[in-house]
Amino acid sequence: AVAEKAGYDHFMLKEIHDQPQAYRDTLSGRLFKGYPWVYLPELKLTPEQIKQFRNIHIVACGTAYHAGLVGKTAIERWARLPVEAEVASEYRYRSPLITPETLVIVVSQSGETADTLAALREAKRHGARVLAVTNVVGSTAAREADDVLFTWAGPEISVASTKAYSTQLLAFYAFAIHLARIRGTLPDEEIGPIVHALTKLPEQVESILQRKDEIKSYAEEIASREHLFFIGRGVDYAVVQEGSLKLKEISYIHSEAYAAGELKHGTLALIEEGTPVVALATQPDLYEKTVSNIREVMARGAGVLGIATEETAGLAGSVDRLLLIPSTHPMIAPALTVIPLQLLAYYASVARGYDVDKPRNLAKSVTVE
Ligand code: G6P
């Protein structure tokens, strides 16, 4: 078992470190520094079919749902199609408005989650075309969907999902570019920088991993706390939902992920002297707004760890501690910011003495309802 963990103490830590290679594998053969920018030859979907879609539903559970939230933002921004993202256990029972012009994307690491498969079947019953984003070749989702995009993350053993999520983000980015190019909604001058940002990700993740001790020391500080808040706007809000879930799953520290601008509508009441808050501020166009939300929590005594990119590094003056991640395209930032959030959950769990790879009450794959 030690050999399988490649010398790491836990599968989760190994899988966090697998991410640079997983990114290379998921992007391999799919990206080009010029027309057609992305190439997804496995798709049976024709350009004519893509042009006919009127809307997209993204359906998944848990961490895969959180990847879907980022996917929704990228597809709406770049391909200008309305996208709903919903957890499968709700979607399947609310008679969603699915038509033959709806593309339903199911996201599932295992491809075996019962609720997600039920949603897939519900979508097909209504005549929708179904695309599965999955990590497992030969899985039920891969077999039953009309189209499949595989994430080439390699086997994920740890119950807490890491590289499956981050490679799902990459699959969404590639698919969103593909849709946008066919629909003519994103000029080449905008696609070029996005593709460039994607190609830089593996080495940028490596550079974040080299600074893991910064996160470890923060994790050790908050390990004795019972509550923590994560805040962010836009795709930062999508990523903090994943960071919060990760922390809860394996460290059992209660946390809430909040859209930074929504805090003042109630939950701000829970911020008191010393409450730890992790604030993501990687989006230049939302930066000023996020900083003002950080001021709101700091005024109530919160201790804030800010996570920013080089473009938003001015955040240093507004937080107690700053973690800088490498510069990237704003929409791609989640593929980097999730790494410190995974490490935070991991080191908090270790500091509290839990079995990181086997969190209580959770299963890797939930194949019954
Ligand atoms: C379980 C796991 C989660 C996972 C979810 C969906 O609840 O504990 O980590 O996100 O299932 O799994 P899937 O295989 O469909 O992505």
d(CA 242, CA 178): 25
pLDDT more than 70, % of the chain:
99
- pLDDT number for residue 1: 54
Distance of CA 42 to the CA centre of its chain: 23
Which residues are catalytic, by number?
Answer: 364
Q: Which SS3 state, helix, strand or coil, does residue 255 take? A: strand
Alpha-helical regions (H) of the chain? 11-17, 19-27, 47-52, 62-79, 88-91, 114-125, 140-144, 163-183, 188-209, 212-222, 235-251, 287-299, 334-351
d(CA 178, CA 186): 10
Mean confidence (pLDDT) of the chain: 96
Give residue-wise pLDDT tens across range 156-176. 999 999 999 999 999 999 999
- pLDDT number for residue 267: 86
Residue 9 tokens read as 């103490």
Q: Which residues line ligand 1 (CB under 6 A)?
A: 61-64, 108-110, 113, 116, 159, 161, 362-366
Out of 366, 368, 369, give the residue to mutate to test ligand 1, the one with the largest number of ligand atoms within 8 Å of its CB: 366
d(CA 58, CA 194): 22
- pLDDT number for residue 2: 57
How many angstroms does the Cα of residue 5 sit away from the middle of ligand 1? 21
How many residues can be counted in the chain?
Answer: 369
How many angstroms does the Cα of residue 62 sit away from the middle of ligand 1? 5
Residue identifier of the C-alpha nearest atom 4 of ligand 1: 62
How many angstroms does the Cα of residue 265 sit away from the middle of ligand 1? 31
The reported pTM is 0.97
Could you tell me if the ipTM is greater than 0.95?
yes
Out of 58, 106, 109, give the residue to mutate to test ligand 1, the one with the largest number of ligand atoms within 8 Å of its CB: 109
Strands 276-281 and 55-60: unpaired
How many angstroms does the Cα of residue 49 sit away from the middle of ligand 1? 30
Mean pLDDT by groups of 10 residues along the chain of 369 residues: 82 98 97 93 96 98 98 98 98 93 98 97 96 98 98 96 98 98 96 97 98 97 97 98 98 97 91 96 97 96 97 94 97 98 98 94 87
d(CA 196, CA 203): 13
- DSSP string for residues in 108-155: ESSS--HHHHHHHHHHHHTT-EEEEEES-TT-HHHHHSSEEEE-----
Give residue-wise pLDDT tens across range 287-310. 999 999 999 999 999 999 999 999
